[in-house]
Amino acid sequence: MARDDNTILSALKPLCTRSAVTAAATKSTRAPSLAIYNAIRNTGYTFRYVSTESPSYKMIKTETQGRVAIITLDRPKALNALCSELFHEINDALAKFDNDGAIGAVVLTGSERAFAAGADIKEMKDTEFINNYKSNFLGHWVEQISKMRKPILAAVNGYALGGGCELAMMCDIIYAGEKAVFGQPEISLGTIPGAGGTQRLTRAVGKSKAMEMILTGSVNLDAHEAKSLGLVSSVFPPEKLVEETIKTAARIASKGAVAVQMAKEAVNHAYELNLASGLHFERRLFQATFATKDQKEGMSAFAEKRKPTFTHE
């Protein structure tokens, strides 16, 4: 149900402390402020917020639940095939959520039938090398997601093929519904994966399986195979998938945002650096966390046997 901050505040007034409501009322935010979220959490209720100020996207839906933002690909007739406009909208939403202090993690999902069935074949079929090269085709599509500082969790139901599989692999955690299908069918179209399929899939599932999938274009992974190979971290019934992914995203978003971003950055360096440089980078970031208020709060809370209150500083 869509509700704006004032409606939420009126409903909350009898339920929570005056200071939390007043603090929340003084802020004008796109998503509920931390104060509103905390006030609601103190009541024991959960809620889902659809911003009345969201841009009018045509191919995605966005919503927030507490500190979690949810982006749902919504191009059902083409099984969420990734066309320019769809990617433009995804990138726009991602950039806004990355800059929104009230958001701590993002969930990216599709429909029960398809996460995304690949790049839009009909849109790209007649494009030529020279224009693709000059315009850096695909490069701009993936720029935003690769520079996201906040964690992104993919909730994959149905087909994740070609660019759809690559999009899921660009996320930090992949959860799958039992009927998910992961594959790289590009070879059957006379092309190859173009947004990380040859690189990330190989690292995730090993060379032999990646070669088998990419060279045949028809060996796909179901959700359980994907989990056993390490591509996916958990499998859920399709109807529970998004809810379970949001729960994990909420757990991540409840931690200190600075430590979360540093941890994401350090894990991502495992892909990019050799072990010695990666360990050095991790140690430096670890040392740097001791300059944050969240580290002081987190360790004091443990010692004092209470829950920490992170301020993301």
Question: Catalytic positions, please?
Answer: 119, 163, 166, 186
Tell me which residue has tokens 């100020």: 53
Q: Does 89 bind ligand CO8 (CB under 6 A)?
A: no
Q: Which of residues 43-62 bind ligand CO8 (CB under 6 A)?
A: none
Going from the C-alpha of 100 to that of each of 6, 23, 51, 134, 213, the distances in angstroms are 19, 18, 13, 33, 38
Size of the site for ligand CO8 (CB under 6 A): 24
Q: What is the DSSP code string of 252-290?
A: HHTS-HHHHHHHHHHHHHHHHS-HHHHHHHHHHHHHHHT
Residues 6+ positions from 50 with CB-CB distance below 8 Å = 1, 2, 3, 63, 64
**Which residue has tokens 């909420």?**
250
- 161: contact with ligand CO8 by CB under 6 A: yes
> Which of 69/79 has CB closer to ligand CO8?
79
- Cβ proximity to ligand CO8, 187 vs 211, nearer residue: 187
Q: Which of residues 93-152 bind ligand CO8 (CB under 6 A)?
A: 117-122, 138, 141
Report the distance separating Cα 270 and Cα 154, nearest Å. Answer: 20
CA 214, CA 202: separation in Å to the nearest integer?
10
- Specify the stretch interacting with ligand CO8 by CB under 6 A; choose among 44-52, 77-85, 263-271, 280-288: 77-85
Given 73, 156, 167, 258, the residue binding ligand CO8 (CB under 6 A): 167
Say if CB 81 and CB 121 are below 8 A apart: yes
Residue with tokens 């931390």: 34
Site map for ligand CO8, 182-221, x if CB under 6 A?
---xx--x---xxx--------------------------
Closest separation in Å from C-beta 293 to ligand CO8: 38
Which residue ranges make up the site for ligand CO8 (CB under 6 A)?
78-79, 81-82, 117-122, 138, 141, 159, 161-163, 166-167, 185-186, 189, 193-195
